[in-house]
Protein backbone atom coordinates (compact mmCIF):
# COMPACT_ATOMS: atom_id res chain seq x y z
CA UNK A 1 0.00 0.00 0.00
CA UNK A 2 1.42 3.34 -1.04
CA UNK A 3 1.07 6.52 0.97
CA UNK A 4 -0.29 9.49 -0.96
CA UNK A 5 1.35 12.89 -0.56
CA UNK A 6 0.99 16.22 -2.30
CA UNK A 7 4.16 17.93 -3.46
CA UNK A 8 5.05 21.57 -3.88
CA UNK A 9 7.62 22.64 -6.46
CA UNK A 10 10.62 23.53 -4.29
CA UNK A 11 10.36 20.37 -2.18
CA UNK A 12 9.94 18.19 -5.25
CA UNK A 13 12.94 19.82 -6.92
CA UNK A 14 15.03 19.26 -3.78
CA UNK A 15 13.83 15.66 -3.62
CA UNK A 16 15.11 15.06 -7.16
CA UNK A 17 18.35 17.03 -6.77
CA UNK A 18 19.24 15.02 -3.67
CA UNK A 19 18.26 11.77 -5.42
CA UNK A 20 15.78 10.97 -2.64
CA UNK A 21 12.95 10.51 -5.13
CA UNK A 22 14.41 7.11 -6.01
CA UNK A 23 13.83 5.97 -2.42
CA UNK A 24 10.58 7.80 -1.70
CA UNK A 25 8.62 6.97 -4.86
CA UNK A 26 8.46 3.21 -4.19
CA UNK A 27 6.76 4.08 -0.88
CA UNK A 28 4.54 6.95 -1.98
CA UNK A 29 2.39 8.28 -4.75
CA UNK A 30 3.13 11.98 -5.21
CA UNK A 31 0.36 14.20 -6.51
CA UNK A 32 0.98 17.74 -7.73
CA UNK A 33 -1.30 20.46 -9.07
CA UNK A 34 -0.85 21.61 -12.66
CA UNK A 35 0.43 25.00 -11.41
CA UNK A 36 3.25 23.26 -9.54
CA UNK A 37 4.08 21.18 -12.60
CA UNK A 38 4.26 24.30 -14.78
CA UNK A 39 6.55 26.00 -12.22
CA UNK A 40 8.87 23.00 -12.37
CA UNK A 41 8.86 22.84 -16.17
CA UNK A 42 10.16 26.42 -16.31
CA UNK A 43 13.48 24.88 -15.25
CA UNK A 44 13.75 23.23 -18.65
CA UNK A 45 14.40 26.66 -20.17
CA UNK A 46 17.50 26.90 -17.96
CA UNK A 47 18.35 23.28 -18.76
CA UNK A 48 17.79 22.20 -15.14
CA UNK A 49 18.18 18.42 -14.92
CA UNK A 50 15.56 18.16 -12.16
CA UNK A 51 12.86 19.62 -14.44
CA UNK A 52 13.51 16.93 -17.05
CA UNK A 53 13.51 14.17 -14.42
CA UNK A 54 10.21 15.36 -12.94
CA UNK A 55 8.69 15.60 -16.42
CA UNK A 56 9.73 11.98 -17.04
CA UNK A 57 8.26 10.88 -13.69
CA UNK A 58 4.95 12.52 -14.64
CA UNK A 59 5.05 10.82 -18.04
CA UNK A 60 5.65 7.47 -16.28
CA UNK A 61 2.72 8.15 -13.87
CA UNK A 62 5.06 8.07 -10.88
CA UNK A 63 3.94 11.61 -10.15
CA UNK A 64 0.27 12.38 -10.78
CA UNK A 65 -1.16 15.75 -11.74
CA UNK A 66 -4.46 16.65 -10.10
CA UNK A 67 -5.98 20.03 -9.38
CA UNK A 68 -7.78 21.26 -6.28
CA UNK A 69 -11.26 22.64 -6.62
CA UNK A 70 -11.70 26.39 -6.90
CA UNK A 71 -13.51 26.67 -3.56
CA UNK A 72 -10.53 25.25 -1.65
CA UNK A 73 -8.17 27.55 -3.52
CA UNK A 74 -10.30 30.62 -2.75
CA UNK A 75 -10.73 29.69 0.93
CA UNK A 76 -6.96 29.37 1.43
CA UNK A 77 -6.23 32.44 -0.68
CA UNK A 78 -8.54 34.38 1.65
CA UNK A 79 -6.43 33.55 4.73
CA UNK A 80 -2.92 33.64 3.22
CA UNK A 81 -0.56 35.38 0.84
CA UNK A 82 1.05 32.36 -0.75
CA UNK A 83 2.52 31.93 -4.19
CA UNK A 84 0.32 30.11 -6.69
CA UNK A 85 2.20 26.80 -6.38
CA UNK A 86 2.03 26.65 -2.60
CA UNK A 87 -1.58 27.83 -2.64
CA UNK A 88 -2.70 25.10 -5.04
CA UNK A 89 -0.62 22.39 -3.36
CA UNK A 90 -1.99 23.22 0.10
CA UNK A 91 -5.54 23.42 -1.28
CA UNK A 92 -5.10 19.97 -2.84
CA UNK A 93 -3.62 18.53 0.37
CA UNK A 94 -6.57 19.90 2.34
CA UNK A 95 -9.09 18.62 -0.19
CA UNK A 96 -7.58 15.12 -0.31
CA UNK A 97 -6.61 15.01 3.37
CA UNK A 98 -3.06 14.03 2.33
CA UNK A 99 0.19 15.22 3.87
CA UNK A 100 2.20 17.72 1.86
CA UNK A 101 5.90 17.89 1.02
CA UNK A 102 6.66 21.54 1.75
CA UNK A 103 9.55 23.62 3.07
CA UNK A 104 8.22 27.15 2.59
CA UNK A 105 7.78 28.79 6.03
CA UNK A 106 4.61 30.68 5.06
CA UNK A 107 3.21 27.49 3.57
CA UNK A 108 4.03 25.50 6.70
CA UNK A 109 2.27 28.12 8.83
CA UNK A 110 -0.86 27.78 6.67
CA UNK A 111 -0.65 23.98 7.02
CA UNK A 112 -0.48 24.35 10.81
CA UNK A 113 -3.46 26.72 10.76
CA UNK A 114 -5.49 24.31 8.61
CA UNK A 115 -4.33 21.17 10.45
CA UNK A 116 -2.64 19.71 7.37
CA UNK A 117 0.21 17.28 8.00
CA UNK A 118 3.37 18.64 6.40
CA UNK A 119 6.67 16.94 5.64
CA UNK A 120 9.78 19.08 5.15
CA UNK A 121 12.48 17.57 2.96
CA UNK A 122 14.92 17.12 5.88
CA UNK A 123 12.24 15.15 7.74
CA UNK A 124 11.92 12.90 4.68
CA UNK A 125 15.68 12.41 4.68
CA UNK A 126 15.61 11.51 8.39
CA UNK A 127 12.72 9.09 7.86
CA UNK A 128 14.57 7.29 5.05
CA UNK A 129 17.68 7.15 7.25
CA UNK A 130 15.79 5.92 10.34
CA UNK A 131 14.01 3.23 8.31
CA UNK A 132 17.41 2.14 6.97
CA UNK A 133 16.21 2.67 3.41
CA UNK A 134 19.35 4.71 2.85
CA UNK A 135 22.67 4.25 4.59
CA UNK A 136 24.73 6.86 6.44
CA UNK A 137 26.88 7.73 3.41
CA UNK A 138 23.82 8.23 1.18
CA UNK A 139 22.23 10.30 3.93
CA UNK A 140 25.26 12.58 4.31
CA UNK A 141 25.56 12.98 0.52
CA UNK A 142 21.87 13.88 0.20
CA UNK A 143 22.08 16.17 3.23
CA UNK A 144 24.98 18.09 1.68
CA UNK A 145 23.09 18.48 -1.60
CA UNK A 146 20.01 19.71 0.25
CA UNK A 147 22.03 22.25 2.25
CA UNK A 148 23.69 23.50 -0.93
CA UNK A 149 20.40 23.83 -2.84
CA UNK A 150 17.86 24.68 -0.14
CA UNK A 151 17.19 27.59 2.16
CA UNK A 152 17.40 26.27 5.70
CA UNK A 153 17.93 28.12 8.96
CA UNK A 154 21.27 27.56 10.64
CA UNK A 155 19.59 25.90 13.65
CA UNK A 156 17.81 23.39 11.42
CA UNK A 157 21.05 22.52 9.61
CA UNK A 158 22.84 22.05 12.94
CA UNK A 159 20.02 19.89 14.32
CA UNK A 160 20.07 17.50 11.37
CA UNK A 161 23.86 17.54 11.15
CA UNK A 162 23.98 16.15 14.70
CA UNK A 163 21.37 13.51 13.89
CA UNK A 164 23.14 12.28 10.77
CA UNK A 165 26.62 12.31 12.30
CA UNK A 166 25.86 10.32 15.44
What does the pLDDT average to over 83-109? 94
Half-sphere exposure of 161 (CA within 13 A, CB side): 10
Q: pTM, whole model, 2 decimals?
A: 0.91
> In this predicted structure, what is the pLDDT of residue 100?
97
Query: What DSSP letter does each residue of 50-65 carry, written as one string?
Result: HHHHHHHHHHTTSEEE
Residue 130 · residue 108 · CB < 8 Å? no
Domains and CATH numbers, the chain: 3-121 (3.40.50.1010)
Q: Which of 123, 145, 103 is nearest to 10 (CA)?
A: 103
> In this predicted structure, what is the pLDDT of residue 166?
75
For the stretch 110-134, pLDDT in tens is 999 999 999 999 999 999 999 999 9
> In this predicted structure, what is the pLDDT of residue 150?
85
For the stretch 28-84, pLDDT in tens is 999 999 999 999 999 999 999 999 999 999 999 999 999 999 998 988 888 888 889
Amino acid sequence: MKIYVVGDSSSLILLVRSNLHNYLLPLTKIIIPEVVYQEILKGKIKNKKDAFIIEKLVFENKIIIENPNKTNIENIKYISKLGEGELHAIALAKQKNYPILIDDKKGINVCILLNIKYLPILAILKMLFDLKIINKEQTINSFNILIKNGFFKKEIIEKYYKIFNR
